[in-house]
Structure 1
Amino acid sequence: MNIVLCSISFRHQLVSFPDLIDFAGRTGFSGIELWGVHGRSLLRDRRRELPGLLEDMEARGLGVSMISDYVDLLAPEDQTALLLRRWDNLLDMAHAFRTRKIRIFAGNRASAAATQREWTLCADRVSRLARIAAERGVQLVIETHPHTYADTLDSTLRLLRDAAPSPIGLNLDFLHLWETGTAPIEAYRQLRTWIVNYHVKNVAALEQAGLFESGNVFSPSGKRDGMAALARGAIDYAAVFDQLHQDATPHPIAIEWFGEDPFALLEQERRWLAHWGRPERAAAQA
């Protein structure tokens, strides 16, 4: 399996990019999903060193799997030029980090509250940005996430179809559709045509899914109790990974850990995932 770590897991730690590269290489990850905040910081402060850092990554068999950032797809129409400039800057960032994917959210409001005009604006902008990205060799990726127009299975399917035929990819965050009542395997089966990336994280109980609300996740004093390891939470990830392994999915599986001690937990998660590629596991599943 193609397992990557998310640099956003270190949003509250004093960790350098070379340290993350070294950690990813030592512990068997295949790459790093780079949070846009971290990418902009590196471009501002370490631009001259960046080619050497990326060469070091590549020498270790690593790469930047995706840039994860945000654009306001629901901004007023008179701000379209500003939106396009921000997208152009993100495409420049993708090229600087030698990656071909940029993940954004489909707006910043729940799909159930969308007016037809707002929905059309969002779908049209997704389609337009995806075409612009494709012209520069990059793929726009939408993530399933609460308070966006991809917050349920039905809304995600509708958005992907309405924005077609532009080359849009999907980052399937299993937990965020699971918390709406969609079984992870069902989400995978219905969305697999568009999937190019996965986010995996777990929680001790369904009623604690709100721990992943942005206000809590980004607060240094936010609640962390209830965030669970993949093997020990309420989502049955063993069944999910059995399915992904059976289908030989080539897409990156990005571990998002928002709790304490990310170095230790990410290494633990990577070790747990490693056994899906072992011969004895394959034999057991035959």
Structure 2
Amino acid sequence: MKLGVFTVLFSEKPFEEMLDYVKEAGVETIELGTGGYPGNAHCNLDELLNDPAKLKKFKKAVDDRGLTISSLSCHGNALTPDKEFASQCHDTFVKSVQLAEQLEVPVVTTFSGTPGAYEGAQVPSWSLAPWPTEYAEILKWQWEEKLIPYWQKWGQFAKDHHVKVALELHGGFLVHTPATLLKLREATSEAIGANLDPSHLWWQGIDPVEAIKILGKKNAIHFFHAKDTYIDQNNVNMHGLMDMQSYANMQDRAWTFRTVGFGHDMKTWADIISALRLVGYDGAVSIEHEDGLMSIEEGFNRAVQNLKPVIMREPLAEMWWV
């Protein structure tokens, strides 16, 4: 495993300055935003795909620092009823796959998407209960008419380009749990796998270690985000885990995102890293910062400091004691 970072944290820094900064902090691999919600501050798809000289210079800047690119991330919603945004997200995904192939980057990370409740709807709809039965009917229609057909085609496209698709298990999107990921994977392609982010599992009541074991048995973990969540049980009792308050309302929210080690102790994180190794994951542990109590720099550096002691880098040795 390699310690990494989602570089959208440092979008205000020029590309090579950002590379120097994260390298100095102790990072070994970088996850680059290519558009959609994360933006494309450090990776302009059209420029790099259409100008071989710029692509060569881009790759050299990474290589010269001894870094690698772990993923191109185009988190968006290609299934939204907002046709303009859906088109942008789809176009960004396609180009991200094409660029990943050229750069020999193994993974493109995104969201599964969420369509509307029916043909002609104006906004996405995320059903959370099987009753009243119209919610279950909406969900069935979304999966059968939108989600599965889209990823059958475009998962195969990624596979044809030797790229894996890591769908982040994130609330608000149709794929948000191990079960929904495996359901889509079975209906589409093994190119489809999980971007497993513990922070989005904890607030759903899912134990990340057990989720890793479930998905690992199917070789379905394609990427990993390192972000923590603090759950305030008193506020859970008031608002429930489906708390819809603004993330900025930290004193009253049921849960808040934290940097690694500030929501759960480092024994928990050691268990998570060990579970990843147990199931054969050897990719990036990519730091993502959304901690409202720390600056980006402090949150990022605390995560680096906390993860370094628990990440196992050396190849597995023979069990001499067996």
What interval of TM-score do these two structures reach, taking the shorter chain for normalisation?
0.7 to 0.9
Deviation at 1:60, TM superposition (A): 2.3
Q: Give the equivalent residue in structure 2 for 1:152.
A: 177
Which residue of structure 1 lines up, in the alignment, with residue 70 of structure 2? 65
Summarize the Cα distance change of 1:154–1:227 in structure 2 as closer, same or farther, 3 Å threshold.
closer
CA 1:116–1:89 in 2, change beyond 3 Å: closer, same or farther? same
Matched, 1:229 2:259: yes
1:144/1:206 CA distance change after superposition, 3 Å: farther
Q: Summarize the alignment of residues 233-252 of structure 1 with structure 2, pairs less than 5 Å apart.
A: 233-234=263-264, 236-245=268-277, 249-252=281-284
The CA distance in 2 between the partners of 1:175 and 1:142, in whole Å, is 15
Given candidates 18, 38, 46, the residue that maps to 2:16 is 18
Instruction: Give the letter aligned to residue 126 of structure 2.
Output: A
SS of the residue 1:186 aligns to: helix
Aligned positions of 1:19-38 closer than 5 A: 19-37=17-35, 38=39
Counterpart amino acid of residue 271 in structure 1: Q
- Output the TM-score relative to the length of structure 1: 0.79
Q: Take 2:300 and 2:93, find their aligned partners in 1: how far apart are those partners?
A: 31
Partner residue, 2:122: none
Identity among equivalent positions (%) equals 20
Q: Which residue of 1 aligns with 2:3?
A: 3
Check 1:269–1:166 CA distance in 2 against 1; reply closer, same or farther (3 A cut). closer
Q: CA–CA distance in 2 between the matches of 1:57 and 1:81?
A: 30
The farther-off stretch of 148-157 and 106-115 is 106-115
Q: Please say which structure displays the higher CA radius of gyration.
A: 2
Task: Report the 3-state secondary structure (helix = DSSP H, G, I; strand = E; otherwise coil) of the residue aligned with 2:40.
Answer: helix
Deviation, structure 1 residue 62: 0.9
Contact 1:199–1:255 (CA under 8 A) maintained in structure 2: yes
Assess if the C-alpha contact under 8 Å between 2:203 and 2:231 holds in 1. Answer: no
C-alpha spacing 1:248/1:214, structure 2 compared with 1 (3 Å)? farther
Aligned counterparts of 2:7 and 2:41: Cα–Cα separation in 1: 13
- Indicate how the Cα distance of structure 1 residues 148 and 45 shifts in structure 2: closer, same or farther if over 3 A, else same: same
Among candidates 118, 143, 151, match of residue 168 of structure 2: 143
Give the deviation of 1:178 after TM superposition: 1.8
**Which of 188, 194, 204 is the equivalent residue of 2:230?**
204
Is the Cα contact below 8 Å between 2:181 and 2:193 reproduced in 1?
no
Q: 1:104–1:140: 8 Å Cα contact kept in structure 2?
A: yes
Tell me the SS of whatever aligns to 2:59: helix
Per-residue CA deviation, residues 10-41 of structure 1 (Å, 9 max, x unaligned), is 35xx2111122112222221111111235376
Q: TM-score under structure 2 normalisation?
A: 0.71
Structure 1 alignment gaps of length 5 or more: none
1:196 touches 1:252 (CA, 8 Å); kept in 2? Answer: no
Distance change >3 Å, CA 155–CA 31, structure 1 → 2: same
Structure 1 position 245, deviation (Å): 4.7
Bigger relative contact order, structure 1 or 2 (CA pairs below 8 A, ≥6 apart): 1
1:187 aligned to 2:211? yes
8 Å Cα contact 2:287/2:300 also seen in 1:
yes
Greater shift in the superposed pair: 84-93 or 251-260: 84-93
Contact 1:149 1:159 in 2 (8 A): no
Q: Structure 1 stretch 145-154 or stretch 199-208: which is displaced more?
A: 199-208
| 1-structure distance, mates of 2:42, 2:140 | 38
| Deviates further, 16-25 or 100-109 | 100-109
Tell whether 2:58 aligns with 1:53: yes
Q: Post-superposition shift, 1:124?
A: 2.0
Structure 1 residue 136: deviation in Å?
Answer: 1.8
The whole-number CA distance in structure 2 between the counterparts of 1:131 and 1:249 is: 22
Q: Shift in Å at residue 271 of structure 1?
A: 2.2
C-alpha deviations, 1:195-219, integer Å up to 9, x for none?
0111121133256899xx99967xx
